[in-house]
Amino acid sequence: MNINHQALLLTILVICIIIPSVKYRARGGKFQFDDDPDVMEQEILRLIPLGSSIEKAKEIMENNGFQCEYFENDSFVRVRDDPNGRPRVRQTLYENVCHLYCDISKGLIVQRRWQASIVHERGVVSRTLEVFAGLIDYIKDLDWTQTDVDRAIIATIQ
C-alpha cells in the first residue's frame, strides 16, 4: 500500500469516528422527543442505560427540561395502546416500587406531555417505563395530584 492509500484510509477512518461524535455533541446529550411511548422509552434508555445511578438519571432528565420527584414503595400504571391502535388498552400495574417520576410539557398552541417513571433498586436504574396518556392532561387541568391520577387509572383496570 502506498502512502496515498494509507492517507485516504486514515482520512476515511477519522471521518467515520468524528462525524458521529460531532452529531452527538451537537445534540448535547438531549432527548429527541417522540409521541410514540416505545420510541421515547428507547430514547431515555439511550441516555440513561440500565445500571446508571438514579441521581445521574435525575440530573439527565432535569437537564432535558423534565421536573422530577422521587417516590418510594409507590404504585403506578404503565399505559400503552394495543397493537390495533385502540388507546390506553394495555395497562400494567406496578406496585411497591421505588421510582423517579419525571414530567414535561412542550408546545405553544398544542401541548404535548411526556411522563416517565424510572424504576430503581437501591439507587441503581433497573428499568425505564414511559407513561404517556392524553387523559393525564385533562385530569391535570382539574388540579388532581399524580396520586389521584394513578388511583383513577388503577380503578379502571381492577
66 and 8 co-located in one domain: no
Domain span at 85? 31-157
Task: Say whether pTM exceeds 0.85.
Answer: no
Mean per-residue pLDDT of the chain = 74
At 71, is the secondary structure helix, strand, or coil? strand
Q: What's the pLDDT tens digit per position in 101-153?
A: 999 887 776 677 888 899 999 999 988 765 554 434 444 445 556 666 666 65
Query: DSSP secondary structure string, 79-145?
Result: EE--TT--TT-EEEEEEEEEEEEEEEEE-SSS-EEEEEEEEEETTEEEEEEEE--HHHHHHHHTT--
62 and 47 co-located in one domain: yes
Locate 64 and state its grid cell: 432535558
21 and 95 co-located in one domain: no
Pairing label, strands 90-106, 112-121: antiparallel
Whole-number Å distance between alpha carbons of 45 and 47: 5
52 and 120 co-located in one domain: yes
55 and 23 co-located in one domain: no
56 and 98 co-located in one domain: yes
56 and 24 co-located in one domain: no
Q: What is the mean pLDDT of residues 7-15?
A: 61
Number of domains in the chain: 2
96 and 127 co-located in one domain: yes
15 and 57 co-located in one domain: no
